[in-house]
Amino acid sequence: MYETVIGLEVHVELKTDGKLFCKCKNRFGDPINTNCCEICTGLPGAIPVFNEECLIPAVKTGLILNCKISEKTRFDRKNYFYPDLPKGYQISQLYEPFATDGHIDLPRSGKTIRIREVHMEDDAAKLMYENGRTVVDYNRCGVPLVEIVTMPDFRTADEVTEFMEILRKDLRAAGVTDGRLEQGSMRADINLSVRKEGEDFGTRTETKNMASFKAIAKAIEEETRRQILILEKGGQVIQQTMRFDEETLKTEVMRTKENSDDYKYFPDPDLPYITVSEEFSRKIRDMIPELPSQKERRFSEEFGLRDEDAKVICRSDDVADVFEKAAKMSGLNEATASLLLTHIASSEKLPAPEALSKTAVLMAGGKISAGMAKTLLLDVSETGEDPDEYVEKRGFVRITDDGLIADAVDKVLADGDNAKAVSDFKAGKDKVLGFLVGKVMRELKGKGDAGKVRTILLNKLVGDIDG
């Protein structure tokens, strides 16, 4: 049996006004080469100046990942040549990254993923290939990124997907990034190797170019399969950079991996140390709201919600807010959650917390059925009416009186339109019972006690057969 070992490097574009070392606009989708200057296009003699606003989303990221924030941090040059890198080096942080030693919990997988470090770096330009030509858009050159480097703690694509989902949700909620994979504002590189259980780590490859969570999962599956096949044939995995092809859904070799020595890293002499005081970190921590992952966990624990339900309810802050207030008012967590989940599946208009709470009380007390509660909640969300008054005014209560139900059943059975269904039932087609129950419920304007309607209807039908 082989085991897959995966580590991630996730690049996240920070949401800021300016770029990392100049004040050019950091904005996706502008006409190409309109947001650039001598610094971000790397003209000789241009001196980069650290844009302090970038430190806010960067430190937020470090704190969200439970990292230690370094009090002093600085930038290094990573030297290489490529057309998307006009100055001939990327400004990154090799020696003194701003955040280290973090972790993130994955509740679904029950695992903790360790974060080795988070560092800042500037993005390269964007190369676009059109009609046999290559176009360079320098708008992206110098855009601030953080790179999150995990330890090789993942074993399955599922764990990676859960990690990425949590990361994206939390970073977006904290205003760090747009987190759009398809636009490249979040990009994950997968370091993957396989080994037989108990053996040392195998040789790893790095896979790039996945624009969705699905593609990430598929790339992991494919690269695992490819490496196992090589080993099974007695071959050796080579340290290479792979590219995931969205069309064929296969991983293919992009280039054979260079050693990190090739970059000739050295501290950037243009950029002084940055000091991140404890007080600054504390202020940033105070700016981070309750994160979706924290809220989901709290809702599961505090209100006893199923994980799946907590996830749906926490998808929007507004929905989560209505739930929390209503559940606290009514004390009926389960009824409140199920009502709200049914409601948001069919309406975009949220009920007021008071209305939701009162409806849950009416339903849990047996005064109205679940079906009636749904109708009531849809109506009062539109009109703003009070649920208790709604029930009072319309006599909107569950009909449990045997006589009233029996009358409705008789009426349905006597109706010529239903004669075929009745004879079908007597001929042994049990399925038509549901149809007849529906007819009786309609007769009772949806307010009949479903259990009683069924029993009384069945007794009458069977009585008829006996007679």
How many other β-carbons are positioned within 10 Å of the β-carbon of residue 344? 20
Give the number of residues written for the chain: 467
Residue 30 or 321 with smaller CB distance to Zn ion? 30
In the complex, the smallest distance separating the C-beta of residue 32 from Zn ion, rounded to whole angstroms, is 14
Q: What is the rounded CA–CA span in Å between residue 51 and residue 274? A: 11
Residue with tokens 């409140």: 336
In the complex, the smallest distance separating the C-beta of residue 18 from Zn ion, rounded to whole angstroms, is 8
In the complex, the smallest distance separating the C-beta of residue 178 from Zn ion, rounded to whole angstroms, is 20
Residue 141 or 368 with smaller CB distance to Zn ion? 141
Residue 23's alpha-carbon distances to 38, 72, 212, in angstroms, are: 11, 23, 31
Q: What is the rounded CA–CA span in Å between residue 7 and residue 28? A: 29
In the complex, the smallest distance separating the C-beta of residue 217 from Zn ion, rounded to whole angstroms, is 37
In the complex, the smallest distance separating the C-beta of residue 97 from Zn ion, rounded to whole angstroms, is 24
In the complex, the smallest distance separating the C-beta of residue 238 from Zn ion, rounded to whole angstroms, is 39
In the complex, the smallest distance separating the C-beta of residue 336 from Zn ion, rounded to whole angstroms, is 52
302: phi then psi, degrees, rounded to nearest 5: -75, -40
Residue 37 or 433 with smaller CB distance to Zn ion? 37
Residue 40 or 310 with smaller CB distance to Zn ion? 40
Residue 22 or 422 with smaller CB distance to Zn ion? 22
| Nearest CA-CA partner of 355 in 391, 393, 317 | 391
Residue 23 or 328 with smaller CB distance to Zn ion? 23
Residue ranges that bind Zn ion, judged by CB under 5 A = 22, 24, 37, 39-40
Residue 270 or 334 with smaller CB distance to Zn ion? 270
